[in-house]
Chain A
Amino acid sequence: MKKIVNLAWLNILQILRNKEEIFGILILPVLLTFIFSAVFGGGTEESKVPVIFVDEAKTEYSRQVYEQLKEVDSFSVKEDTRADAKELLTEGKIDAVVIAPDNLCSDVLARNGASMKVLKNPGSARMFSVVEVVNGIAGRMAANARTSQIIQEVVSEARKEFESNPLPLAPGQEISLPPMPVKNFSEEIKTELSKTFPYLQEDPNNEDLYWAADEKWEPEPPVSVEVQEVIPSEVRGESVVATGYLQFSLGFTVMFIMFIVLNGAGGILDEREAGTLSRLLTTPTPKAQLLLGKIVAVFLTGALEAVILIGFSALVFDVPWGRNPLSLIIIVGAYLLAVTGLAVFLSAMVRTRGQLSAIGPVVAVALAMIGGCFWPTEIVSPFMRRLADFTPTGWAMYGLVDIVARNRGVSEVAVPSLALFGFAVFFFCLGVRFLKFE
């Protein structure tokens, strides 16, 4: 046991003595955390979606679109001309432009194929929320216009009925009606009639009906949808976890831990290349202890990395890591074991340290992609999703998403942790089987 510790310590010292590796192990993660946290961190204040509204119609209708856009908390809406807005969009400074074209008002009222335009920045993921909101506004306008039209139809039909059969009087009413049509009524009778049938004087105005209908949407629409993210024992509003960023911050941490463990795992190859391994083997140190010492060192280096990456981002930048540290430790520990196992396996597969250094990052990137570190596995085909089950990165992501997004506890991460242990055992066995000591 003491030998294992000594060997591990020696190996760590070897790593720490090399200034390039110190750079890789200490400075780089801090730098990365800084970038990550800036990119993916809490900072919700800055993350309002910049939207520009172009009002070419300049009517009550287009003003209303503007007012409704402004009411959306997550947008910061400004007005501008179409040309300027396009330029800003092309430069990538804004995510979307909403245009109310000049014939919007007349087209809406006539139900004449009115349209609002949304120009999007295809590189922005947030434009979807803009399209969604504009769709909602368009739905409201369409409903108002249609309502107005239907009521006019009903009223005019009712009038026709009345005109052809002028007797639908309220009970007890006794007005002797002159012959139709209405416009032939004398002023006197019209006035008398209007007390009972004011609609006869004129059709209800299209625009008035539109706004009468529109009032019904305030202060809240008759039917609305409330969306809540659910985590166990608690329901929280939408804005706590910044959408989409969670995937990235977890994914890149998973990738980097693997990246650095694979990179730091050349110890045994170094000694083999330098010939010191054969010398060590002549001493009364069993191969198993020797190997274990190396492995412990790799594991500890990886653990140090993980602590730096997670701790720094959590403490300094408020990146969310769930509320159950124990389950986080378990899953990250299991993942470190699996990755350390992979490192041993890869060391056995290559001949030189150089090859390991070359293959490590590439393997890390490939596994990160399949495992769903770069994009969520929910968007890929079922086959690719199945493939993720065969990667340690995939299981680490399942576990971490459970802990961070769903706030799960220890018992719920048992399956991913066990899967990761399985990978660890599998890779260790293969690695030890194929590792050549001389």
Chain B
Amino acid sequence: MKKFVRIGLKDILITLRDAPALAILLGMPMIIILILGSALGSLGSDSEMARIDVAIVNLDEGDIGKEIVEGITEGEELEELFDTQVLDDAEEAREGLERGNLAALLVIPEDFSDKINDSKPVKMNVFIDPGKEISASIFQNVVQSIAIRIASASVAVQTAKDVFVESKMVADERDFSRHMDKVVKEITADDALSAVDVLESNIEKERKITELDFYGTGMTIMFLLFGSMFGAFSLVKEREEKTLSRLLITPTSKTSIIGGKMLGIFFVGVVQFLVLFLFTVILGVHWGENLFGVFLLALGVLLAMTGLSVLFSSVAKNVRSVGAIAPLVVIVMALAGGSLFPVSTMPEWLQPIRYLTINGWALDGLSSLMKGAGTNSILPNFGALMAMFFAFFLLGVWRLGYEE
């Protein structure tokens, strides 16, 4: 028992003194999460975002086209959002879009005002750069809402005209235009279309998981798994350098050696988790209210990771093999388990493969904790992680060679 602890402690010391290993286990994830923080953390505040380059080509000779252009270029809010150029040549503007200089281009057609005044349907054209779909869709939404306003005015005018004419309410032209003016004035008032609100809400009780939360937790789990590689390195290296054989000659049982190694790997993982956890919390990643649940899942991940390192040591012949196989396994698990992109982007039939990975079970549990779930609901996740630990560990110990 004492030996097993001492082997563990010695391994922890070796890792803590190994600068490159520390850099990878702690430094790199911190840098990556910091990048995430500055890349995604600023998503909420619009001021941080650069203005979107858009252009308008107004071919309309009437007033309505002119009003649209003024509305987009002179509105204060829109001015903050868009860097709008007003161009004359549609072809030239198209070329700018094709070169990627613009995110979107609005073309108001020639007979726009005329057609609206004649109550004929008319289309505005928005051309978007498929390489800048997000920025383009913001502009597209703005144009869409302008279109609805104009359409509403047109609908009101057409309907009023019908009613007035049919009912012969108006005696002469002067009377008619007096009534119509009033209709136009009312329907184009600012609050005219506020009658029907659309209330958006996310699923009740659930907190929105931000991109920062997603990547912060996803990356933490992924980097915890890299610990298994260093664990395997240390075991395989002792085997390669024959220090393991020497150790076996001394009255130390295999159980003590493996146990000690695993203790070391596990403990380094605990330190790594605590540092990354604090770091992500400082950056604003929301792990949920249930800290006990988070730590329970972390414990499961670290155990599974420790088991995985034994499995790596048994499969790989030498350090080079560990280096080839471990990062790939970790990355594939990260990919399939939802550390790199949300599992919901996968087609439904493929989504269950996340349950073959450590990341999948861990992130599944973490995301329900973020949404406010209790400890009970993540017990299956913890159980699955424990099962993985035992499976990896037993398989690893069974196949493990102690000498080359």
**Interface of A toward B, CB cutoff 8 Å:** 18, 20-21, 23-24, 28, 31-32, 35, 38-39, 43, 46, 86, 89-90, 92, 108, 111, 113-125, 128, 131-132, 134-136, 138-148, 150-151, 153-155, 158, 168-170, 196-199, 204, 209, 212-213, 216-217, 220-232, 235, 241, 243-246, 248, 252, 259, 263, 266, 270, 350-363, 365-366, 369-370, 374-376, 378-385, 401-402, 405-406, 412
The interface on chain B, measured as residues whose beta carbon lies within 8 A of the other chain's beta carbons, has a size of: 124
Q: Given contacts A114-B197, A248-B345, A363-B28, could you give 17 more A-B pairs where the C-beta distance is less than 8 Å?
A: A23-B325, A35-B346, A114-B196, A121-B203, A135-B198, A143-B192, A150-B182, A150-B186, A168-B175, A228-B125, A228-B127, A353-B323, A358-B24, A366-B31, A383-B38, A385-B50, A406-B130
Contact of B131 among A86, A223, A358, A406 (CB under 8 A): A406
Residues on A with C-beta less than 8 A from B203 are: 86, 89-90, 119-122
B152, B211, B346: the one contacting A139 at CB < 8 Å is B152
Contact residues in B for A131 (Cβ distance below 8 Å): 198, 200
Nearest CB of chain A from residue B164's CB, rounded to whole Å: 8
Partner of A150, one of B97, B145, B183: B183
CB of B130 within 8 A of CB of A246, answer yes
Inter-chain contact A198/B168, CB cutoff 8 Å: yes
Taking CB atoms, residues of chain B closer than 8 Å to A381 are 38-39, 42, 48-50
Q: Which of A122, A143, A361, A385 has the most CB of B within 10 A?
A: A143
B97 touches A230 (CB 8 A): yes
Cβ of B98 and Cβ of A232 under 8 Å apart?
yes
Residue of A nearest to B342 (CB): A123
B187's contact among A117, A146, A158, A412, by CB below 8 Å, is which?
Answer: A146
Q: Which residue of B lies closest to A229 (CB)?
A: B130
Complex Cα distance A147/B206, Å?
A: 39
A43 cross-chain contacts in B, Cβ below 8 A: 347
**Majority secondary structure of chain A interface residues (helix, strand, loop or mixed):** helix
Q: Are A362 and B159 in contact, CB atoms less than 8 angstroms apart?
A: no
B 21-43 contacts with A by CB, 8 A: 21, 23-24, 28, 31-32, 35-36, 38-40, 42-43
Binds A, one of B75-83, B275-283, B329-337, B376-384: B329-337
Tell me how far the C-beta of B306 lies from the nearest C-beta in chain A, rounded to whole angstroms: 17
Report B-chain residues with C-beta under 8 Å of the C-beta of A225.
123-126, 140, 143-144, 147
Q: How far is the CA of A32 from the CA of B168 in the complex (A)?
A: 72
Instruction: Return the 5 tightest CB-CB contacts between A and B, nearest first.
Output: A357-B323, A143-B152, A222-B154, A142-B195, A139-B148
Q: Which residues of B contact A243 (CB under 8 A)?
A: 133
Residues in B whose Cβ lies below 8 Å from that of A357: 229, 320, 322-324, 326-327
The smallest C-beta distance from B369 to any residue of chain A, in angstroms, reads 15
A20 touches B128 (CB 8 A): no
Cβ distance A200 to chain B, nearest Cβ, rounded Å: 9
* Chain B residues in the interface with A (C-beta under 8 A): 20-21, 23-24, 28, 31-32, 35-36, 38-40, 42-43, 48-50, 94, 97-100, 103, 105, 116, 119-135, 137, 140-141, 143-145, 147-152, 154-156, 158-160, 162-163, 167-169, 171, 175, 179, 182-183, 186-187, 192-204, 206, 208-209, 211, 215, 219, 222-223, 226, 229-230, 233, 237, 315-316, 319-328, 330-332, 335-336, 340-342, 344-347, 350, 353
List residues of chain B with CB within 8 A of the CB of A147.
Answer: 152, 155-156, 159-160, 183, 187
CB < 8 Å neighbour of B163 from A119, A128, A144, A212: A212
Asked if A46 meets B347 with Cβ closer than 8 Å, knowing A120-B200, A358-B229, the reply is: yes
A199: nearest residue on chain B (CB-CB)?
A: B167
- Which of B24, B131, B319, B342 has the largest number of chain A CB atoms within 10 A? B131
B103 to nearest A CB, angstroms? 7
Beta-carbon contact of B163 and A230 below 8 Å: no
Q: How far is the CB of A267 from chain B (nearest CB, A)?
A: 10
Provide a sorted-by-A list of 6 A–B residue pairs whose CB atoms are within 8 angstroms: A21-B324, A86-B204, A246-B130, A351-B20, A359-B20, A375-B211
